[in-house]
Structure 1
């Protein structure tokens, strides 16, 4: 319990790979209150920390945890040295999670299951989110050669974890790829929603290697979470073009990397191509895949109601022709907007992150 409480205090100070969209703006919602009545349920490889009233949820998670461990550790060829800390949080009604390897391996999961959007498929929520977050741990915790030596001498300090310098599309892509099981129809990678978003990208023109590598997690235009979308299809491409083992070799290639962000050597050492050339092959793969999909779909004539923004969601129409919606463009504060019957768009008020709304005349 002492180690767990230290982790709660350090949570805000360490590198955090948040794995799912729409985190709350008030970061205090992510922080468990350390003086509440916390319990710990231990399995062979995890310590699941929960408030006493959430024991049934923790037990269901424990049943999933070791199954995920047995599946994912051989696939990523990595086993953490100690048990991974897992924190169950009920302070926010979002469907989300986040993982970090500093100062030790841990991740949190919000209890709330998704009710809409890209996470809403028929996957068991606990298994899907647990897989995604634990894959982050298995990826970001890896090291080899000189980096492992540094870690053995100096401990778990920032520069002894070469994988945390991966672009977001690399780390999120492998997590979405591993959460996806096409045979069971689990995960975002097999969803119609992901295909639809990438078809929209096909129509606009696919993003370049530099755009994805330097934009960060969210960007400023739709679709939100492009690093998840492009990252998943990148690993699908590698597996289809070169075989899945080569895809994992590409991931492991940074384990002994001392100089951060060397994407060119990462691609060249595994595939004999520089990063841009590999990305061009990836774009050609996407072009072929989604050109075929588009050819099978009917041509639909439509007119956009709202232009721009990375999230325009949850519209509510009124009898007089007005409608309200949530808007987030990555540049300004999220807001509640209204469009009148003449098409004039104006802000009603700022809001705190993603909101479900209802309107009463």
Structure 2
């Protein structure tokens, strides 16, 4: 029998609502729960479902609640709502992030109520990130990871840590040095310093994290210079997720031809490849999968909703298996602890008022690049 779900919240919740139109979504949309805003009522009309303003109004034939409301750290009541819904016997898929104490309370309530609770870090489910993680898994079958270089906007730090945890197979042990006060020198010259860097170890691997620790309080979800960028390095080369939505690029490690003899100091670049040097004729870098990332309209309308459909599929599979995914909950508790450690080291984001970006068309850049050939 098809399970039925309500979506709680209609800001980012609109992405979840659109996911119910995805052919791979195993769940039927049964309604919207919100505080009663005009936007939420309009969404209910658009998706032709009932609109509820209290958890007590949700019918008993609803199985799942998607809680897409901010947690306490971001000034919302998402965790409290999730607890109420689980007391009623609903399984919950909750959008990240949460404070570690909030997540622990939700996991305890899920056990008491006999329901399944999943915290959704979202981006590990979108196709370009999954493609990157699959490439990392294939690479690490023969090559241990030697280093990671990663960057994100501060709003995306938790999801970045989950991407890194998936790539590494976990995040323990970790240790990060305190943030150097290099920004003080920049402040003396009144320069804008968007990124803060932390060096440390994650999952036993050397890691550099660069976080744009800035926010426009009037529009907190916008004006990040980037979302996620990750490079996983091995002895053979490195895999880079250029941006959240791709592409993934493999770049071989530079390996210059050896000299022919002990007394021959001149490299023979034009000599035929000898045994063991066949790799010198391979591309030094190549794109894995589509060479272009999708446009943001397609991202918001299709790529993200497909990721939500996948997260819902995982929730349904756990429900049908009888729950019992204690390891998943413990993993996210660890991520919360790590995320709070890192954000404490970074300090509160710098508040600024940002102007809308002046967009540049890629076709013009490509034409200029061709002219330089």
Band of TM-score, shorter chain: under 0.3
Q: Which structure shows the bigger proportion of residues in helix conformation?
A: 1
**Bigger relative contact order, structure 1 or 2 (CA pairs below 8 A, ≥6 apart):** 2
Q: Which structure shows the bigger proportion of residues in strand conformation?
A: 2
Give the TM-score, by structure 1 length.
0.25
Give the TM-score, by structure 2 length.
0.24
